[in-house]
Amino acid sequence: MQRPPGYLAANPLPPGIVGALGLGGYQLLADLAGVGVGRLGAQAFLLIAPDPDPNLPEVGTQIALHHRRLKDEAELGSFTQLAAQLGYLRLSGYRLALERSGLRSKVNLVNPATGAIAATIPDRYPGLLSFGGGSTAGRLLAGVRGLPPAGPPPDLQNSELMGQILLALALRDDTLGGAQAAELADRALELARADGTLDPPAALEAAKHEAG
């Protein structure tokens, strides 16, 4: 079972975390498959909803890769692209296993086919004095972009699932703003419905070609 569209908007960070980290009134910049980006002034962070598990109590939305001082908008773009890639990988079969670290959480990207951890998203963004630059959003994005599929392709006849996949693919494009990505994903979904031979990347490319 996947998180539905709009899950993070309907299930924001718990008040205790919001208050302790001073994040009240943060802006939700992306929200797909239970993965998103939050921003408050110069602060940026990933928002992650744990994988649903009927055997465990719901622990609520958690925060990862908390960055207190963005340098510029390009750095924020890397957060959005990383969230989109993690959402896409989750939709394609990977699991996001969250490990609490104080008020924040580390996120392990797990390939269920092997049980191996393919990547780890830290709870905090590296500081200026981190050796080698640390695990920045850009470095993490580069590391997870080349991961192979976790299993067979998802059910593309499911319009809700297809819509989230297309939005995730569109948000990975650093030339598109959030509104543009959403419009392109909507058009790609229409094209995919009209032509059942189009897979998500092909439908998105067709929508881009139409847009000129």
Residues 62 and 94 in one domain: yes
Residues 130 and 207 in one domain: no
Query: Of 113, 145, 177, which residue sits at a domain end?
Result: 145
Q: How confident is the model at residue 129 (pLDDT cuts 50, 70, 90)?
A: very low
Q: Of residues 196 and 30, which shows the higher confidence score?
A: 30
Q: Is 180 exposed, middle or buried (0-12, 13-18, 19+ CB in 10 A)?
A: middle
* Number of domains the chain is built from: 2
Burial 187-211 (b: 16+ CB within 10 A, else e): bbbebbeeeeebebeebbebbbeee
pLDDT score recorded for residue 79: 95
pLDDT score recorded for residue 133: 56
**Mind listing the pLDDT tens digit for each residue in 46-85?**
999 998 887 877 788 999 999 999 988 888 999 999 999 9
Domain containing residue 19: 7-145
Residues 14 and 114 in one domain: yes
Query: Of 87, 116, 145, which residue sits at a domain end?
Result: 145
Q: What is the 3-state secondary structure (H, E, C) of the chain?
A: CCCCCCHHHHCCCCHHHHHHHCCCCCEEEEEECCEEEEEECCEEEEEECCCCCCCCCCCCCEEEEEECCCCCHHHHHHHHHHHHHHHHHHHCCCEEEEEEECCEEEEEEEECCCCEEEEEECCECCCCCCHHHCCCHHHHHHHHHCCCCCCCCCCCCCHHHHHHHHHHHHHCCCCCCHHHHHHHHHHHHHHHHHCCCCCHHHHHHHHHHHHC
Residues 141 and 169 in one domain: no
Which candidate, 179, 183, 150, places its Cα nearest to that of 166?
Answer: 183
- Answer yes or no: pTM beyond 0.85: yes
Residues 18 and 91 in one domain: yes
pLDDT score recorded for residue 127: 65
Residues 56 and 87 in one domain: yes
In a domain, 203, yes or no: yes
Average pLDDT of the chain is 90
In a domain, 1, yes or no: no
Averaged pLDDT, 143-157: 85
Residues 129 and 164 in one domain: no
pLDDT at 144 over 70: yes
Residues 76 and 31 in one domain: yes
Averaged pLDDT, 174-195: 91
pLDDT at 19 over 70: yes
Which candidate, 86, 76, 11, places its Cα nearest to that of 42?
Answer: 76
Residues 131 and 36 in one domain: yes
Residues 173 and 124 in one domain: no
Residue 169 contacts residue 162 (beta carbons within 8 Å): no
Residues 129 and 173 in one domain: no
Q: What is the 3-state secondary structure (H, E, C) of 53-104?
A: CCCCCCCCCEEEEEECCCCCHHHHHHHHHHHHHHHHHHHCCCEEEEEEECCE
Residues 123 and 200 in one domain: no
In a domain, 151, yes or no: no
Question: Bridge partners of 98?
Answer: 107
Report helix angle 159-171 to 73-91, nearest 10: 150
